[in-house]
Chain A
């Protein structure tokens, strides 16, 4: 990929964000969010109806653009944290839109992205349930939620996640398995409050 000169600034923002600058992180988030949307739009325009575009592929592309191909770069973890969050927001926005379309009995074609409607089994409602459960999980256990973010929304492997979070690969795998089950449980509508009251 040809290095994009405009991303020189972005690299600096990523560095600032990874050193704990909250404003830089916000800025990075907005840039990445917009970037992902534009990439999605461009690529989707070339696809024919019914074809899908993996969200994680987009994330990879974004990463390649920003890192200029340098894999051993220290902004890695922060960047993927931000990018996962951006991708999640995009998917959530879209799922909300789609689900309200469905509630309104209207035309599903309204939506541009059709994000999260990749396969029939994942309805936007299911995705929204996942999103809400994930919000709870973030409250309960931030690291576990982060593993989900990195693996699910950024498509990273256990090895990379382990390196980024500075834990063992086994821990990552256990976190993922637990999180998956826990989220699934929340998604099937088991009320936590009941358990707390009992």
Chain B
């Protein structure tokens, strides 16, 4: 306590005890000439007589400011104490936090936008990522990007980030308020594209581009667009469950109507720079038409119905079409652009329509690759130069559709559409220019027919509303089968293409009869109407041969394939993919011959060609490798087989994916080799995993799935503890194979022997006997070796059961059959 203060206090106390009239005299007496002190005491005494109301009532807390959203921001407001900043007012709120206008106090005084991340989001990992993110953003320097200044954590542990405070209005509001023309609107987007390019070059995506994140300021009379809220939305990628909670996703994942399809549906892949290009396209679309493109099918995961709808409607309506469709709204928007609806439509029709269509491509591989490309095309448009954007071709539309949707229908669509269009697109490069043009025209016509067939007949027949979401490939194909009869009598080339596709699809589903029916018909039509070297004809025959092979008619298959290979080499050359495919099919057919030398010769000749022409990871090359591995196995060289399968497996998994059929088949082979090497538990794990994946990918009764299940059972047999499970699998396999193959199918008989062996090894005598008898019955005539094997086991079973007469009977039958086989082999050898 200072002396002067003490004196002041004493004077005040003494004077306040005196009646008012005596106070002045007392003070003058005490203080003499210290008028300042006298004045001060006088003032205090006056205050004492009339205390301010602030001292009357205790301080209180009011509730004026805590209605509505502010009440929810309770925890956020705890965080407003940001050192070095004076928070001034709230500018807005999003799912992740609140943005305030604030005054930075040091090192410089300036207005900033301060963004606080909502408390719940601030998991420790988020803190770190946020810091890294802000650091990257702080390095962005572009006149059209709001600068990021600073980031950190408040004393109460909240994340914040400060940015340039942009005093502007959204780009759409600006354009409308200033009556910008369409060209001026496009020009306004150019610096935005440039800025995005700048950011992308530094590895930063925006992910939430929309008009409200592009503000326009009027600096020195010319508008400058500035992108705000950069990259912050990236925080949503965190694995923190808070961030992905469904209640927040609407705000947090971005704004659906400005989002690219891949952003709306994570199944379609990661978000990349092209996602931002899409959003830029949406913003320009809105600038030009006054509306965002339709989004009804984009926000949700594609259902079958929406897939079909979007296929039928193709793409986002073109700018010119949208302006027309908007009617009066289009008219009033045109007025805001200082023109009429008709003039705006004319302006957009053509190049501008195409540019926007390309930016808004749902398949990003067809989109502009970068904001730079998009901006450059817009500039070319403004300068009346030719633009990059072109109309998509029909076949492209179909391919894109198939690639885009991964529903079950999509599998069907892929099978059907890709193969058909693929068949019509392979010839270019092998014919003269004139012929090429002619073919291209023919191809366009075929594509057109296919599109129409696909849309009007096939999809209509599917009636998704009636059949629900689970339309399977099989149902799709069946629908196509019934629709195709008689419809293409005057269009043989289309019929050949479609039937070949259908047949191949049926074959890949293991539906052999239907497959042969379509392929036979395709070959007949092709023989009648198409040139000998026509690729469609060649493909029909190739597929027919493959189906014959699947049906177990190996000799017929081989004969057809020899012709196909010859024709193919002549028409397309030895290096052509189709020729290589024909060679592979021929090698497969030959591999059924007990003598592996024929198929070995083919594989040794064509595997290097396939590797060189198509690449080491191409499916065709992998199939050759697969075949080579099998030849090694047939020649009892398991180590060499293992090396071939392992290399192929790695390539397949890398190039085609772990659940691709090829990869699964190779897994099957590798696991089988593991069993041979005595490592059944490893084999079991491999089989089980692959089997589960195959069920999901191909279905429970697909041959590949069944093969894997067989392998699983075989791996289980090795351990008596697992016999019960193994028997279950064998029972199920027996039932399943009968639905895949007809009773007289040789492959089915092979499979029976496999199952019978399983029953024998697990001690299931009754089951084994019944099955072995079926094998004998089915194969005694055609495939005596299998029958002999079965008879031998039947004799042993009878022996073990103490059935002496039964055993003797099988012994006699076995000897007779063996004798027949010997004489047959003898005559074959003599014939040679």
Interface, chain A (partner B; CB < 8 A):
37, 40-41, 44-45, 47-56, 58, 87, 91, 93, 97, 100-101, 103-119, 121-122, 126-127, 130, 140-141, 144, 152-153, 155, 174, 177-178, 180-182, 184-185, 187, 190, 194-196, 198
Contacts of B9 in A (CB 8 A): 141, 144, 178
Interface, chain B (partner A; CB < 8 A):
1-2, 4-5, 8-9, 12-13, 16, 36-37, 40, 43-45, 47-48, 51-55, 57-67, 70-71, 73-74, 77-78, 80-81, 86-90, 101, 103
Pairs across A and B, CB under 8 Å, 9 listed: A44-B63, A45-B71, A105-B89, A109-B70, A112-B71, A115-B59, A127-B59, A178-B48, A195-B4
**How far does the alpha carbon of A128 sit from the alpha carbon of B4 in the complex, in Å?**
25
Most buried by B among A100, A105, A130, A196: A100
Contacts of B87 in A (CB 8 A): 97, 100
Whether A184 and B64, one on each chain, are in contact in the complex, defined by CB atoms closer than 8 angstroms, is no
Beyond known contacts A101-B88, A182-B12: 6 more, CB 8 A cutoff: A49-B63, A52-B61, A54-B58, A91-B59, A100-B103, A198-B36
A155 and B81 in contact, given A109-B64, A181-B12, A181-B44 (Cβ under 8 angstroms):
no
**How far does the alpha carbon of A113 sit from the alpha carbon of B81 in the complex, in Å?**
14
Judged by DSSP, the binding face of A is helix
A194 and B63 in contact, given A111-B77, A178-B9, A180-B48 (Cβ under 8 angstroms):
no
Whether B61 and A113, one on each chain, are in contact in the complex, defined by CB atoms closer than 8 angstroms, is yes
A49 and B67 in contact, given A100-B87, A112-B73, A195-B37 (Cβ under 8 angstroms):
yes
Picked from B61, B78, B86, B89, the residue with its CB within 8 Å of the CB of A55 is B61
Picked from A51, A97, A104, A185, the residue with its CB within 8 Å of the CB of B62 is A51
**How far does the alpha carbon of A107 sit from the alpha carbon of B2 in the complex, in Å?**
43
Smallest Cβ distance from B165 to chain A, in angstroms?
A: 11
Smallest Cβ distance from B458 to chain A, in angstroms?
A: 60
Most buried by A among B9, B13, B16: B9
Smallest Cβ distance from B116 to chain A, in angstroms?
A: 13
Contacts of B37 in A (CB 8 A): 195
**Count of inter-chain pairs, beta carbons less than 8 A:** 170
Whether A111 and B65, one on each chain, are in contact in the complex, defined by CB atoms closer than 8 angstroms, is yes
Whether B88 and A130, one on each chain, are in contact in the complex, defined by CB atoms closer than 8 angstroms, is no
A96's nearest neighbour on chain B, judged by CB, is B86
B52's nearest neighbour on chain A, judged by CB, is A184
Smallest Cβ distance from B83 to chain A, in angstroms?
A: 13
Q: Which 7 A-B pairs have the closest CB atoms?
A: A106-B89, A118-B60, A104-B88, A181-B47, A181-B44, A114-B62, A52-B60
**How far does the alpha carbon of A150 sit from the alpha carbon of B64 in the complex, in Å?**
27
B13's nearest neighbour on chain A, judged by CB, is A174
Picked from A56, A113, A178, A187, the residue with its CB within 8 Å of the CB of B13 is A178
Contacts of A121 in B (CB 8 A): 53-54
Whether A100 and B86, one on each chain, are in contact in the complex, defined by CB atoms closer than 8 angstroms, is yes
Contacts of A49 in B (CB 8 A): 63-64, 67
**How far does the alpha carbon of A189 sit from the alpha carbon of B90 in the complex, in Å?**
32
Contacts of B1 in A (CB 8 A): 140-141
Smallest Cβ distance from A1 to chain B, in angstroms?
A: 21
A45 and B66 in contact, given A182-B44, A195-B40 (Cβ under 8 angstroms):
yes
**How far does the alpha carbon of A53 sit from the alpha carbon of B193 in the complex, in Å?**
53
Smallest Cβ distance from A190 to chain B, in angstroms?
A: 7
Whether A130 and B58, one on each chain, are in contact in the complex, defined by CB atoms closer than 8 angstroms, is no
